[in-house]
Amino acid sequence: MAKPADFVVDNASGAAVRTDLNNIFDAISINNGFGTVPTQKYKYMWYADEATSKMSFYKANASDKLDFISLTDGSFFGPNGTASNPSYTFTNSINTGFYRSAANQIGVSNNGANTALFKVDGIDVKGHINVEPTSGEAFVQLKTGVNNEEAYLDFVTDTTTYTDYGLRLQRGDTGPDTDSSLIHRGTGQLQIMTEQAAPISFRTTNTERWQINSDGAYVWQGHTGSSVTLDNGTIFQRGLTSRKGTAANASVANPYNFYWDDSGEGTGKANHLEAWVDTNFVGDVTLGVSDYRIKESITLQTDSGINKVKNLKPITYKYKDYGVLKGSDEIREGFLAHEVQEIIPSAVNREKDVENALQTLNLDAIVSVLTKALQEAVAKIETLEAKVAALEAS
């Protein structure tokens, strides 16, 4: 058979007409699949384009053709389409379907608007994702294709600074025992909250270690309290909260803590416990330790205790407002630390007028000197008593 020039049967002899008809029927049966473009094109004419291996038909203008199926494997082809006019659509919803948004991308259109893009490296969804199976568990799994790659879920609400993520829930990339992290960016609060009266529980090896109750108190392995830092299983107090007022109406104010100084920094004397309120030093805590095992170079005092006592200047005084310390009208007895320091140096901590370092007294040193003075006075009294007794006897 030969490819007909057109689909018109020319007026001719019977044999010629027969040949013309056979050629036309042959062209129809093979959809004009002659390997070359038909000479005469008709609107809606089918054309098996062997050059592109695609089944086509000509549009109403009898010039432009549309390819729609592969001659090799039957794959379908369609126009690129748009979100408002998708390529693959439905009889009763012609603006809902699928289209090619860009190279290697499939767009999903609903009511003429893009709602999802399927791309080589992921899926963009223009809306909400609801996972609601008809039965059984509902879950979303993030799983890497190979070992030792990170898996993370990012939350982004910022288009200027933290455009990749503001909050990330991450599984690390170092194997089955890798770290897991919750990473928060920016200066806003990272809040872990319950809206109802429910506690927040922290567990390790599936055992509860720490619980914050709905009233704000915490329970840590059976203990209750507040404001602690845990480090390697040990509680390190960063400051306790004192209260002023009475009963349940007391207000929270002035966190305080204690600092153990074993270097003697600022005092020249190691091993003392300092008390602080807020950032203010308020004094030393007196330690009553006097065991011989912590002492060396032990000698008896040889300086006159009476002379030292005689040079001390006992005073009366009232406290005034100073920092967090409040004044009082109560008359007290005592000493000025810097005056005691001139006579019994070991009885005073810190030097005079050092900023944020109030001088405090070591009363055991003063008591020791007083004891030495009393012993000297007793010795003098006993000597006088002996002399009086001898005079009376004579």
**Residues pairing with 330 in the sheet:** none
Q: What is the pLDDT at residue 142?
A: 93
99 contacts: CB under 8 Å, gap ≥ 6: 80, 81, 82, 83, 85, 86, 87, 88, 106, 107, 109
Report the range of poorest mean pLDDT among 54-58, 217-221, 253-257, 356-360: 217-221
Instruction: Say what the pLDDT of residue 81 is.
Output: 94
Residue at 335: amino acid letter: F
pLDDT tens-digit readout, 83-103: 999 999 999 999 999 999 999
| Domain residue limits, the chain | 14-70, 79-126, 152-185
Summarize the confidence of residues 293-322 as an average pLDDT.
92
Q: Which residues have C-beta within 8 Å of that of residue 45, sequence separation ≥ 6?
A: 32, 38, 57, 58, 62
336-365 as b/e: b if 16+ CB within 10 A: ebeebbebbeebbbbeeeeeeebbbbbeee
- Give yes or no for a contact between 85 and 93, defined as CB atoms under 8 angstroms apart: no
Write down the pLDDT at residue 214: 84
Which of 157-166, 205-214, 260-269 is predicted most confidently?
157-166
Whole-number Å distance between alpha carbons of 23 and 2: 6
| DSSP code, position 250 | P
Contact 66, 78 (CB under 8 A): no
- The three-state secondary structure class of 47 is strand
| Both tokens assigned to 170 | 């991450």
Query: In this model, does residue 243 exceed pLDDT 80?
Result: no
Strands of the sheet containing 167-171, edge to edge, are 151-155, 167-171, 180-184
> Do residues 262 and 270 touch, judged by C-beta distance below 8 A?
yes
The better pLDDT of the pair 208, 392 is held by 392
pTM score: 0.51
